[in-house]
Amino acid sequence: MSNSPSGIRRARAAAAQQRAARAITHYGLAHPQALASLAAAARAARAVWEAGGAVPDIHPPAASRRAAKPQLHPQ
């Protein structure tokens, strides 16, 4: 990471994502601490996105989701 403002934002967003993932693992999704961590991660990711940066996932999508082709017109 660079020390530029965008690099710092990306580092903060990544740290917030990790904290949210740990809170969900520890407390469960419905716990107030997990929800607060998710909200903080969303705010950090939004700041990076609005500054023109990319917001990567914590982990790549599962193989089943990568292989599935989206249906534009489901029947």
Q: Which residue has 């989206």 as its token pair?
A: 70
Q: Give me the mean pLDDT over the 8-33 stretch.
A: 90
* Identity at 9, one-letter amino acid code: R
pTM greater than the 0.85 cutoff: no
Residue 19 lies in a domain: yes
State how many domains the chain has: 1
Q: Note the pLDDT of residue 9.
A: 84
Residue 62 lies in a domain: no
- List Cα–Cα distances, 57 to 25, 32, 41, 62, 75, in angstroms: 17, 23, 11, 12, 31
Residue 37 lies in a domain: yes
Range of the domain at 28: 5-53
Q: What is the pLDDT of residues 23-68, one digit of tens each?
A: 999 999 999 999 999 999 999 989 888 888 887 777 666 666 555 5
